[in-house]
Amino acid sequence: MSPKKIKYLFIIPCRKNSSRVKYKNKRKIKGKSLYETTILQGLKIKDKNSKLIVNTDDDEIINYCLYNKVDFFKRPKRLSSNNSKISDAIVHMLNSYEKKNNCIVNNIILLQVTSPLRRLIDIKKAIQLYESKNFHSLCSVCETNVSPYWTNYLNKDNSLKNFLKKKYLKRHSQDLPIRYQVNGAIFISEKNSYIKYRRFFNRPQSIAYIMPIENSIDIDTEFDYKISKRLIEN
């Protein structure tokens, strides 16, 4: 029997431990945990030619998947530590998933649970952009909150004497060149090229999908969580 082709495999990584925000994947906003919100979002957008899978080492999340009939892959301990690379976990899962299900995954879409302000329309538009030309990967970005031209390192005595370059001192922030940062919300890649490069940007034929700052919070601190919760619940 020939392998079934899967156009998109939506991957939701949910590692149990987190170094900065304890159990952040389970934090709740508007009565739903971050992982549950992301799973429901992914299920809304996938079509009949796509699949969704949760990659986790957390028994609570596994039980949620079992109860709600959501596909999951149990991440091994060696790929679940703070030093583990998400790319290694994804590649390991892809190899196992294709063998177990006798299928070929064409593309992957990674949705992190730490982007609760991500909208369905952004995922749809990102997919449309990815498919519009011969792109092999896509990564969502947003404008930086503070221009890097107004930032610098501090020396040992915290002196600000030569903190910024003189050519930027008299310029208004709106006149500085716009810089962008990866916002962690949406990642798309052709599967084989992801296995080759093990990243979504800094590689050939990659494109940026620009999202507004107000939808780009990536929860990495307690402050990020509090801001996201306030924005969504008020």
- State the SS3 of 35-96: HHHHHHHHHHHCCCCEEEEEEECCHHHHHHHHHHCCCEEECCHHHCCCCCCHHHHHHHHHHH
Share of the chain above pLDDT 90, in %: 76
- Looking from the CA of 73 toward its CB, the CA atoms found within 13 Å total 26
Lowest mean pLDDT among 6-20, 97-111, 169-183, 191-205: 169-183
Q: Are strands 180-190 and 4-14 parallel, antiparallel or unpaired?
A: unpaired
pLDDT of residue 50: 97
Give, for 180, the enclosing helix (H) or strand (E). strand 180-190
pLDDT digits (tens, 9 = 90+) for 187-209: 999 999 999 999 999 999 999 99
Confidence of residue 184 (pLDDT cuts 50, 70, 90): very high
pLDDT digits (tens, 9 = 90+) for 31-71: 999 999 999 999 999 999 999 999 999 999 999 999 999 99
Give domain limits for the chain.
4-143+182-233
Comparing C-alpha atoms, which of 68, 12, 67, 11 is closest to residue 35?
12
pLDDT of residue 139: 98
What's this model's pTM, rounded to 2 decimal places?
0.93
* CATH architecture entry for 4-143+182-233: Alpha-Beta Complex (3.90)
